[in-house]
């Protein structure tokens, strides 16, 4: 006979069936958790691979930028001419790996030396590439079978501006610059300015004079004209060319005091040109934010040594 399940027996079987259902639910939940864990492991592995790829690419980019910085340094003069009582000193500090600033000092002939400083608008690699173009596009001398002709600074700036505009670059290519020539025998300086901060003459007696010269930005107007200005350095005088990163570096918090660094210059008037730049560099290193400069910084000091 088949036993009958009494009402009491049915009540006894219900907890067993409920227990079986609970076990099945737990097993199903565990299976779901396991699936989530597997998905998390897969995602972690994917993130790890992405991280490894990112680290590799960042390392490669770092190496490429370091190489670019070394190449840019190679384009800077290895040594500066010191002729008679005229000495040249420079300070060059990129804000990053490469700089949008550039300078050069070159012997033009027996008695004249050319010098320039340029600042491409912007930062980083695009600005650095533009400075390389400017370096090679600047023409300072015309050579012919019968001799040579030195271009006046204003003419050199005009040609540089026309050459830059003629490139018709897709990215805005704008720069400021100053180009000058000094006769080392007479200490007479002629320079032209293209939208650049005004050069300064620090006289032996400590006074500071701005050198005014008309001329707009490079790469904007094809018919831009630039003006030559001529003056003489007396023994003990220093001509100072600089990029606007100097004003930012010494100007403190916003709004920037663009003349604050004039005080730093005059305070060091008794120093030689080289000592003056070293003193300014130390002052920058002591300032807040020196490890995170806001702009490239470059200076050229043309010093007429006192007897």
Residue 198: CA atoms inside 13 Å, Cβ hemisphere, count? 14
Cross-strand bridge partners of residue 176 = 119
Q: What angle do CA 109, 151, 76 make, to 5 degrees?
A: 65
Find which of 78-87, 153-162, 287-296 is predicted with most confidence, using mean pLDDT. 153-162
270-300: pLDDT as tens digits = 999 999 999 999 988 887 555 566 788 999 9
Task: Provide CB contacts within 8 A for 202, sequence distance 6+.
Answer: 208, 237, 238, 240, 265, 266, 269
Mean pLDDT of 59-77: 79
- 3-state secondary structure (DSSP) of residue 98: coil
Residue 268, pLDDT above cutoff 90: yes
Q: Which CATH architecture has domain 77-304?
A: 4-Layer Sandwich (3.60)
Beta bridge partners of 83: 86
Residue 20: what pLDDT? 65
Q: Which residue has the tokens 């500071």?
A: 208
The total number of residues written for the chain in this structure: 307
Q: What is the mean pLDDT of residues 12-20?
A: 60
Confidence (pTM): 0.79
Q: Where are the beta strands (DSSP E) in 26-169?
A: 86-93, 101-107, 112-120, 141-144, 147-150
215 C-beta neighbours (distance < 10 Å), count: 24
Question: Are the C-beta atoms of residues 192 and 151 closer than 8 Å to each other?
Answer: no
Evaluate whether 170 touches 219 at the Cβ level (below 8 Å): no
63 Cβ contact partners less than 8 Å away, ≥ 6 residues apart: none
The DSSP call for residue 218 is B
């Amino acid at each position: 006979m088949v036993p009958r399940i009494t009402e009491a027996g049915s009540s006894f079987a219900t907890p067993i069936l409920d227990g079986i259902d609970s076990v099945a639910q737990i097993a199903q939940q565990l299976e779901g958790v396991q699936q989530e864990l597997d998905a998390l492991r897969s995602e972690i592995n994917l993130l790890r691979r992405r991280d490894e790829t990112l680290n590799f690419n960042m390392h490669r980019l770092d190496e490429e930028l370091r190489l670019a910085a070394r190449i840019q340094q190679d384009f800077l003069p290895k040594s500066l001419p010191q002729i008679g009582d005229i000495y040249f000193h420079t300070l060059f500090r990129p804000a990053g790996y490469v700089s949008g600033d550039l300078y050069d000092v070159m012997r033009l002939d027996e008695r004249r030396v050319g010098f320039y400083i340029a600042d491409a608008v912007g930062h980083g690699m695009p600005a650095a590439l533009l400075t390389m173009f400017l370096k090679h596009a600047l023409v300072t001398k015309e050579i012919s079978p019968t001799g040579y002709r030195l271009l006046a600074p204003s003419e050199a700036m005009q040609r540089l501006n026309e050459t830059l505009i003629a490139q018709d670059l897709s990215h805005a290519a704008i720069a400021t610059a100053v180009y000058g020539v000094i006769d080392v025998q007479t200490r007479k300086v002629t320079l032209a300015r293209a939208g650049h901060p005004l050069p300064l003459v620090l006289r032996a007696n400590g006074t500071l004079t701005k050198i005014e010269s008309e001329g707009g930005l490079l790469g904007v107007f094809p018919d831009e004209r630039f003006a030559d200005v001529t003056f003489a350095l007396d023994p003990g005088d220093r001509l100072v060319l600089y990029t606007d990163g100097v004003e930012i570096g010494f100007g403190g918090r916003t709004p920037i005091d663009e003349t604050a660094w004039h005080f730093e210059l005059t305070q060091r008037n008794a120093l030689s040109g080289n000592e003056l730049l070293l003193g300014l560099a130390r002052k920058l290193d002591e300032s807040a934010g020196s490890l995170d400069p806001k702009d490239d910084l470059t200076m050229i000091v043309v010093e007429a040594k006192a007897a």
